[in-house]
Structure 1
């Protein structure tokens, strides 16, 4: 497989619109890295630059140590899985899987063996004679994965491959992609706007905003130690509470404090000495837990409560925070203190 290295990679479109602003990133051989961020952040453009579908405006891009700035997509030995599946409607599953091998001039017996191998890995054996219109969304996505896998490329690129699937299928396919990576030990670069996909699949996550990298770290580190307010607010559902220090009864300062809902305790009745009083704004039962939005000090904070918590809008409650998990951000720069 291969390493991928981006050094000050930039993409500027006509009119001076900068989509990617100096991205520097080293991806190890066999690593699963996700590029994540809101729409328009530059993640798909970065993937297209790696694939060779977009031309670099500046910087260097290397695959397995080789400079590939001027190489065509075919010469880079990558495979890409698209959001739209991009299957040939006139070919059956076997034909779709075999197509890239036939184009490459592989011997017919080797093509048949490779198709059989890949269809076995992805559970497509019973579908080989079907055409794409006869398949479900999940089955089509497996065929798209198979068409990339059958080539045995140096690098696999995924551009929002699960966004067309419903929630249940997305969860299932997420598991299949993770297991596939474990089996292949190949280099995977995965673009998504879904934080859950990025967190569950990746060895490391690259968080992007407005064409720039905000933080590169393992998923747990992003969640526990975000580099700035953007990263803190992007990861976590419900979102992290970002409040002024005085809201929590702490000395005023030029800072914003971050506290995850699971690190806020909400209760009723006698108020502990280290707790502050508030009023319930919203209660959202989620089964095993309840998300409680509390108005306090002119701000709203979300706390996690046990599944049997009972309260109504307007009820008086108390909130107590765990100071060990407070994250402090500079109010002017947004950077973590």
Structure 2
């Protein structure tokens, strides 16, 4: 286990394309940190810089306090789990797990002991004689995890490891990875574009956009107190409503207001309580226990919450109610969060 520190880390490709722009981040020993953001934001490049698969253009990278800028991936004592599994198709599961230990020169007895230990922890005992083509996607990913675990590295790196799985398998594997981290208490750095993965797995989340860090915080803090409009819009499904003050009947300010859909509730038509809004139904999306209703209010479309059995045709008048304490204010020019008033 180890700490990982990035100080003003940069990556500029030929032609002057800046993929990572001065990232500074400290990851504690045993912490689970996710790097999240849209495609092209620099999260995978940052992971590759930590792994040693890319060369830094500037800045300092330390693992367990030691500067590793010039070290090869092997010298950094890290293990990486890829999106593509990267298993050897001609080797069975046991040999895939054993391969990095064979390369490291461990004795046959030590290799067999470690393979048995990892296979038992990941439920792979019955699959040791199978080849990758005989495994499901979830089983292949468990083998890829096992091949990283068997080495007992200082740091585990994950690059979109679940993106090739279907929704049900992603949920299952997400739980397995979380339990694995709880058991090992090792340092995990995890790259994903999936906000739900980042929220459910991480101690802290690093939100990136265009090669820069937008915010670093625990998942709940990112959701409740986003640093800017980008972070506010990236987290949450449905997306946060971004509206002008006048739409909500508030005094005009040079701000954009953020209001989560769950804090905007469809009420009975004709609701005249203070702060109630009126609008026309644009779309109803039943989700089981609740429904998400898109409502046109003064020319802006807002998403609101309604009971699961809510039904209304497009154009139906409805009333909406919101809790003003849940509003978030963002500077209209910079997008940065302003203090709640």
Q: TM-score range by the shorter chain?
A: over 0.9
Which runs of structure 1 show a deviation greater than 6 angstroms over 4 or more consecutive aligned residues?
none
Separation in 2 of the partners of 1:205 and 1:56? 22
Separation in 2 of the partners of 1:224 and 1:272? 29
Alignment match, 2:308? 307
Q: Is the 1:258–1:328 Cα contact (8 Å) retained in structure 2?
A: yes
Q: Is the 2:270–2:318 Cα contact (8 Å) retained in structure 1?
A: no
Scaled by the length of structure 2, the TM-score of the pair is 0.98
Q: CA deviation at 1:62?
A: 0.2
Q: CA deviation at 1:311?
A: 1.6
SS in 1 for 2:162: coil
SS in 2 for 1:118: helix
1:8 maps to 2:4:
no
Separation in 2 of the partners of 1:306 and 1:185? 41
Q: CA deviation at 1:268?
A: 2.5
Q: For 1:239-274, what per-residue CA distance to the aligned partner results, in whole angstroms no more than 9, with x for missing partners?
A: 000000000000011100000001011122331232
Separation in 1 of the partners of 2:35 and 2:253? 34
Alignment match, 2:81? 81
Alignment match, 1:273? 273
Separation in 2 of the partners of 1:12 and 1:226? 28
Calculate the aligned-residue CA RMSD, in Å. Answer: 0.6
Q: For 1:25-67, what per-residue CA distance to the aligned partner results, in whole angstroms no more than 9, with x for missing partners?
A: 0000000000000000000000000000000000000000000
Unaligned stretches of 5+ residues in structure 2? none
Separation in 2 of the partners of 1:152 and 1:306? 49
Q: CA deviation at 1:209?
A: 0.2
Q: For 1:112-131, what per-residue CA distance to the aligned partner results, in whole angstroms no more than 9, with x for missing partners?
A: 00000000000000000000
Separation in 2 of the partners of 1:234 and 1:194? 10
Alignment match, 1:231? 231
Q: CA deviation at 1:310?
A: 2.2
Separation in 1 of the partners of 2:237 and 2:14? 38
Alignment match, 1:284? 285
Matches within 5 A, 1:105-120: 105-120=105-120
Unaligned stretches of 5+ residues in structure 1? none
Separation in 1 of the partners of 2:223 and 2:109? 49
Alignment match, 1:294? 295
Q: Is the 2:5–2:27 Cα contact (8 Å) retained in structure 1?
A: yes
Separation in 1 of the partners of 2:253 and 2:325? 19
Q: Is the 1:268–1:316 Cα contact (8 Å) retained in structure 2?
A: no
Separation in 2 of the partners of 1:273 and 1:89? 66
Separation in 2 of the partners of 1:184 and 1:232? 32
1:138 maps to 2:107:
no
Q: CA deviation at 1:307?
A: 1.0
Q: CA deviation at 1:306?
A: 1.4
Alignment match, 1:219? 219
Separation in 2 of the partners of 1:124 and 1:81? 17
SS in 1 for 2:221: helix
Alignment match, 2:320? 319
Scaled by the length of structure 1, the TM-score of the pair is 0.99
Q: Is the 2:51–2:78 Cα contact (8 Å) retained in structure 1?
A: yes
Q: CA deviation at 1:320?
A: 1.1
Q: For 1:223-243, what per-residue CA distance to the aligned partner results, in whole angstroms no more than 9, with x for missing partners?
A: 000000000000000000000
Alignment match, 1:160? 160
Q: Is the 1:243–1:257 Cα contact (8 Å) retained in structure 2?
A: yes
**How many positions carry a matched residue from both structures?**
337
1:333 maps to 2:334:
yes
1:102 maps to 2:111:
no
Separation in 1 of the partners of 2:51 and 2:214? 22
Alignment match, 2:264? 264
